[in-house]
A and B are shown apart, each in its own frame.
Chain A
């Protein structure tokens, strides 16, 4: 048996520090929003001319007076991703770029993907993304509150917040792009982290019924150990699937799978080191759940 409970304090301080750091990052550095949430134009370009590189593309785009833009390699040698911040939704903006590009660089280009999001739509998408995450947190809170006692509900939600905030903090730290699929990833993280917490909580509750003489501090440790191999195996298979998406699923799914990988790691960690210490702090005992049973 591993004594997880010995490290409750230590890891709680570490978590607290990470959460505070993440919040500071989110406040001061902010998130790198993609076109979905900031508006603007995104072009995924494949050049048939091997001589084209980021520098030559940058020069060509500079001449077009499109305002702020960003060019980077995207996967393949000849694939580039261009993000233009200007919210130009005039019908022929892309056509003009195509012409300008061919005239200044020659060669032929394949516009593999074009996304153009107006300011109104992007702010709506941002709003609905935030609402979706908030709504799912609320729904989880409610569900756990129905299935367990409020102490469990609070512990599970704090664990969720922890995972979501630290994942976003890492996205801020590394300036990774936040787009629609990241919101999907965050929601899945919420589901997964909850899933993990619920399995341990379920065992805690079961053990609470069984043993009246064991303190919650010990009891959580027993429960964590009893479910440990399941926790490890499920995280492992989920991570195997996610790593395979990250490595082989193509450029577009990279951000999504990365967010999920971080989420699964933090989710697993928090269901042990956040969700359980909270129960200890709240002095959960057999009485807590017996009350529920008699009701």
Chain B
């Protein structure tokens, strides 16, 4: 009944000592500590930037529609089916076919093995939803067509974002997918995200195209502004080279003009195309277009066959470095918008830790004095339990390398306040039992048994709140739910294994005492 085997006492003591060591390792240098694990500090405590980026997929959707339009045009031409009025309108591809061909064309799109409208076997749905009215077809991207676009552009964007962030060289960035069109970037220790933000804000879509005066260019033309916004030029839509052909880009000082430039190296295909274009186009202006704006448009003086070139355009060293970085890391599939940003400076983080630790110590002391005042010896037992509980809590957070946030510290302090509850419930129950029962040992035992359901129920309700908070909350609040939940388990363990043993040992020694508690 009230017997604790030596083995049990030893085990409980060993577990306690183990967690005290683990918890203590957070306050030592990593070299001479017992374990190499440490609690991670959240961005709100160590300082850093949190950026939530949303991918604007509209350009990708439109591009997809344009590509599909071309595919449909060629397909119908190959099958020698006449069609009219093929156009994109309100994100729909619309065209007419003569009445006698409607059925034939419909099978092209609705056939499960359709080449123009794939995905059927993957999703049991086509890439495009087809609507037919009289003899007019209209195609819209289906739910799965959109998902496919979103996930693939998210994958690409994630890769490019990672490259760009890595190039800037912050320590241990955390880059994650969120939903199917968002990317989360966490940059610990970075207190001014200005540069990263401007780097992530650019698509960096680079093209080389000829400046033309000829309106009847077969590929079409468009008016584009120069980067400095002062003038514009007509540029062919024919793309000679794009960013994908770049092998490398570096900022450089041009010795002759004393100007900062970005020098680049092209891959084999790019070098070939560039050589051909520069040989046929001597005397023409070649526009270097970045994200729809002309960076510069130098006149081609000579054939460039080496695959090396330079981009000039009133760069400072910083802007040339950034452009080179963007070109090296590649273009984003779609523009990114920063929809949430949270930055905490390192000194505020320090202050928060300091305030949190002070609040924890004061809260802990207040609770300890109060408990000792109320329960004397039993209060002391509750306090020892509470202290060990605290080590358990910190130790487990360390073992799992959990992230500690400011609300997380609040969660620990709150656990200190609430953890004594279980012991209080038990002590009060023992007190009651002592009134009826002369035998201290029996009173002690019934006290534990009878308080059990209340303790379990009470802790489960708090656990439910913590779990919901974990799944619904974000960032720092999540940290709170983690400490709260872990705190419940450590509390129950320390109450039933440590406090029970200590009270048990005390009760056995004071069997005959009249006023036990």
Contacts and interface: CB of A to CB of B under 8 A. Distances in A.
A183 interface: yes
B468 A187 contact: yes
Contact of B462 (A91, A191, A243): A191
Interface string A122-134: 0001001101100
Interface residues of A, number: 70
A244 B363 contact: yes
Contact of B457 (A190, A198, A250): A198
A188 B359 contact: no
B339 A120 contact: yes
Contact of B410 (A111, A112, A135, A249): A249
A245 B363 contact: yes
B113 interface: no
A267 B52 CA distance: 37
A67 B20 CA distance: 53
B465 A188 contact: yes
Contacts of A247: 359, 362
Given A240-B363, A244-B362, A260-B414, A91 B198 contact: yes
Interface stretch (B25-33, B235-243, B303-311, B471-479): B471-479
Interface string B300-332: 000000000000000000000000000000000
A147 B461 CA distance: 11
A153 to B, nearest CB: 12
Interface string B412-428: 01101110110011001
Given A230-B424, A248-B358, A129 B472 contact: yes
Interface string A182-207: 01100110111011101100110010
B355 A191 contact: no
B476 A190 contact: no
B363 A250 contact: no
B484 to A, nearest CB: 7
Interface stretch (A9-17, A251-259, A283-291): A251-259
Contact of B348 (A44, A89, A91): A44
Contacts of B371: 237
B476 A181 contact: yes
Contacts of A23: none
B466 to A, nearest CB: 7
A216 interface: no
A140 B464 contact: yes
A27 interface: no
A118 interface: yes
Given A136-B465, A183-B473, A121 B370 contact: no
A242 interface: yes
Among A116, A118, A128, A195, max chain B CB count under 10 A is at A195
A190 B342 CA distance: 28
B370 A236 contact: yes
A245 to B, nearest CB: 5
A274 interface: no
Contacts of A245: 359, 363, 410, 413-414
Contacts of B339: 89, 117-118, 120-121
A256 B407 contact: yes
Contacts of A238: 414, 417-418, 421
B480 interface: yes
Max count, chain A CB within 10 A of own CB: residue among B340, B371, B453: B340
A242 B364 CA distance: 11
A86 to B, nearest CB: 14
Contacts of A188: 414, 462, 465, 469, 484
Contacts of A128: 472, 474
Contacts of B461: 140, 143, 191, 194-195, 198
A94 interface: yes
Given A114-B341, A132-B473, A241 B464 contact: no
Contacts of B407: 181, 184, 253, 256
Nearest to B191: A111
Interface in B446-491: 450, 453-454, 457-466, 468-469, 472-477, 480-481, 484
Nearest to A122: B340
Contacts of A139: 464, 468
Contact of A114 (B343, B347, B409, B457): B343
B490 to A, nearest CB: 16
Contacts of A253: 355-356, 359, 406-407, 410
B263 interface: no
B374 interface: yes
A50 interface: no
B362 A248 contact: yes
Interface string B184-219: 000000000010011001000000000000000000
Contact of A180 (B198, B454, B468, B473): B473
A116 B340 contact: yes
B511 to A, nearest CB: 25
A113 interface: yes
A195 B363 CA distance: 21
Contacts of A194: 458, 461-462, 465
B462 A248 contact: no
B16 interface: no
A70 interface: no
Interface string B340-375: 111111011001100110111011001100110010
Contacts of A191: 461-466
Contacts of B367: 237, 240-241
A181 B341 contact: no
B348 A198 contact: no
Contact of B345 (A94, A111, A202): A111
A111 B49 CA distance: 13
A92 interface: yes
Interface string B38-81: 00000010000000101000000000000000000000000000
A226 interface: yes
Given A237-B418, A247-B359, 14 more contacts: A110-B345, A115-B343, A121-B339, A129-B472, A181-B477, A183-B473, A194-B461, A198-B457, A199-B454, A229-B428, A244-B360, A247-B362, A249-B356, A253-B355
The 3 closest A-B pairs by CB, nearest first: A241-B417, A191-B465, A250-B355
13 contacts: A110-B347, A114-B342, A116-B341, A117-B339, A180-B476, A181-B476, A187-B469, A188-B484, A202-B453, A237-B370, A237-B420, A245-B410, A249-B358
Interface of B: 44, 52, 54, 194, 197-198, 201, 337-345, 347-348, 351-352, 355-356, 358-360, 362-363, 366-367, 370-371, 374, 406-407, 409-410, 413-414, 416-418, 420-421, 424-425, 428, 432, 450, 453-454, 457-466, 468-469, 472-477, 480-481, 484
